[in-house]
Amino acid sequence: MSTTIRRSHDLRSENRRRVVESLRRIGPCSRVDLGEATQLSPAAISSFASDLLAEGVATATRKSVGRGRPQSVLALSPDAATMITVSLTIDRLELQLIDYVGQALGQHCYDLDTRALDQSGFIDAILSAIADLAQSSHAANLRQISISVQGITSHPEGELVWSPILSITHVPLQSAITSRFNINTTVDNDCRLIASALQVSQQDVLGSSFATVNFSHGIGLALVLNDQAFAGIGTSALEFGHMRHELDGELCRCGQRGCIEAYAADYAIVRYLARHNGTSEGSHFTTIDEEQSHAGRLAAGVLDRAAEQAAKGDKHAKAAFAQAGNAIGHGLRDLSLLFGPMPVALVGRSEVVLDAMRPQLTTALSAAGPHPMDPGKIVLPGFADEDGLLQRGLILNALTETDKQIADASL
């Protein structure tokens, strides 16, 4: 008997979620439109709509459509819930308060020496920042905290296993936040969230299966296969940047040698240029100590200036970007052997930087497998606005998690 009841509740929850997700996807619409989108009966739509209106999750307005009675139009209510998104990047902490339709209600940004903090100091800084934003007069009915971080996170526990922005490991981030605020919290890899934003906005370009390479303070990878996000077993990250490119090669920030990142990350390109500072743009860069396994955030425009030098024929600048493109291309070649050729979104670098990398990247990638790919058919679109995509991915995550809660709320 209990199993039957639970299954009935599960079905109702799933159908209610379909109604909420359809309202979010297609926007304000009639009950008839909602029925067509969900394939639910008019009676079911009427019941779910009545419940959502009574709970303040949705609103109804009258809209005239030709002759006859005005049509009732349903829409999600921005006041139904609020959410906080948290973006953790190298030396920076950004938070945003959003309403139930994804509009920003407030934003805080903090400079934070992330690599100097111990576990207690790191967690306290995040809890304090969240508490400040949660005290806003706009933060009524706070339901969800969604966090992004570069590095490896475990799921569903939400532990920050390892991140290049920190000198500490195994940080119980999700449990610390839920214990303090008693609010549902998720912790995800940043590239995975960026891929979810691209999946929504760039489907015409990328299709249903694609890879996302994120050039940030390292090299991240996310996969979407047949419209489903792919993750590691127990973790949210695919550590593409730490796949081996050369045995006993360049020093990576992770402490190993020869990783893809050690040739293609921003600090790797700057390191190469700094070694040849006698005749290249490298004389204007800060030298990176060979023995340190991390580097701070680069000043804006550094890589663009180097790419411009490469375009002008500077041999060292050209070589720096060639080695970066080669490392990425060989890594993607191996990926294509496992999953088959697919479009690859290149995120976080300007077109001038990508142009400096593309020739070698395409050459390496086109050599995949026993049947080389036609370079003209390799799809490598660039998206420079990493921060914008990450924020959209975070908002999508927060809204999706909140939709799940609201779908289950009446059970």
Q: What is the mean pLDDT of residues 334-342?
A: 90
> What pLDDT, in 10s, does the model give residues 349-402?
999 999 999 999 999 988 866 766 777 788 999 999 999 999 999 999 999 999
Cα Dmax for the chain: 80
Dihedrals φ, ψ of 262, to 5°? Answer: -65, -10
| Tokens, residue 172 | 């119980």
| Spatial contact of 20 and 33, defined as CB atoms under 8 Å apart | no
Q: What local confidence, expressed as pLDDT, does residue 1 receive?
A: 39
> What pLDDT, in 10s, does the model give residues 288-311?
444 333 456 777 788 999 999 999
Q: What local confidence, expressed as pLDDT, does residue 71 receive?
A: 77
- Helix (H) or strand (E) run with residue 58 in it: strand 58-63
> What pLDDT, in 10s, does the model give residues 155-184?
788 999 988 889 999 999 999 999 999 999
> Reduced to 3 states, what is the DSSP secondary structure of residue 87?
strand
Residues in contact with 268: Cβ distance below 8 Å, sequence separation at least 6, in sequence order? 250, 261, 262, 324
> What pLDDT, in 10s, does the model give residues 246-272?
999 999 988 889 999 999 999 899 999
* CATH architecture classification, 203-380: 2-Layer Sandwich (3.30)
Q: What local confidence, expressed as pLDDT, does residue 104 receive?
A: 95
Q: How far apart are CA 381 and CA 143, in angstroms?
A: 36
| Tokens, residue 50 | 């009545």
Q: Which residue has the higher pLDDT, 7 or 358?
A: 358
Comparing CA positions, the residue from 95, 92, 54 lying closest to residue 410 is 54
Q: How far apart are CA 136 and CA 96, in angstroms?
A: 11
Same fold, 80-194+389-408 and 203-380: yes
| Domain limits, the chain | 2-76, 80-194+389-408, 203-380
Q: What local confidence, expressed as pLDDT, does residue 299 receive?
A: 73
Comparing CA positions, the residue from 238, 240, 235, 234 lying closest to residue 252 is 240
Residues in contact with 15: Cβ distance below 8 Å, sequence separation at least 6, in sequence order? 38, 40, 44, 48
| Spatial contact of 236 and 224, defined as CB atoms under 8 Å apart | no
Q: How many residues does the chain have?
A: 411
Angle subtended at Cα 186 by Cα 335 and Cα 226, rounded to the nearest 5 degrees: 35
Q: β-strands 344-347, 210-215: how paired?
A: parallel
Comparing CA positions, the residue from 234, 291, 228, 220 lying closest to residue 257 is 291
Q: β-strands 210-215, 219-225: how paired?
A: antiparallel
Domain 2-76 has CATH 1.10.10.10: yes
- What is the distance between the terminal CA atoms of the chain, rounded to a whole angstrom? 17
| Spatial contact of 20 and 29, defined as CB atoms under 8 Å apart | no
Q: How far apart are CA 294 and CA 290, in angstroms?
A: 10
Q: What local confidence, expressed as pLDDT, does residue 67 receive?
A: 61
Query: What's domain 80-194+389-408's superfamily in CATH?
Result: ATPase, nucleotide binding domain (3.30.420.40)
351 CB-contact burial (10 Å; exposed 0-12 / middle 13-18 / buried 19+):
middle
Whether omega for the bond prior to residue 156 falls within 30 degrees of 0, making it cis, is yes
> What pLDDT, in 10s, does the model give residues 128-161?
999 999 999 899 899 999 999 988 888 788 999 9
pLDDT confidence tier of residue 284, bands split at 50, 70 and 90: very low
> What pLDDT, in 10s, does the model give residues 196-243?
999 999 999 999 999 999 997 789 999 999 999 887 777 766 889 999
Q: How far apart are CA 131 and CA 397, in angstroms?
A: 20
Q: What local confidence, expressed as pLDDT, does residue 292 receive?
A: 38
Comparing CA positions, the residue from 385, 390, 395, 397 lying closest to residue 97 is 395
Q: What local confidence, expressed as pLDDT, does residue 64 receive?
A: 58
Q: How far apart are CA 72 and CA 352, in angstroms?
A: 51
How high is the mean pLDDT of the chain?
88
Q: What local confidence, expressed as pLDDT, does residue 237 receive?
A: 66
* pTM for this entry: 0.89
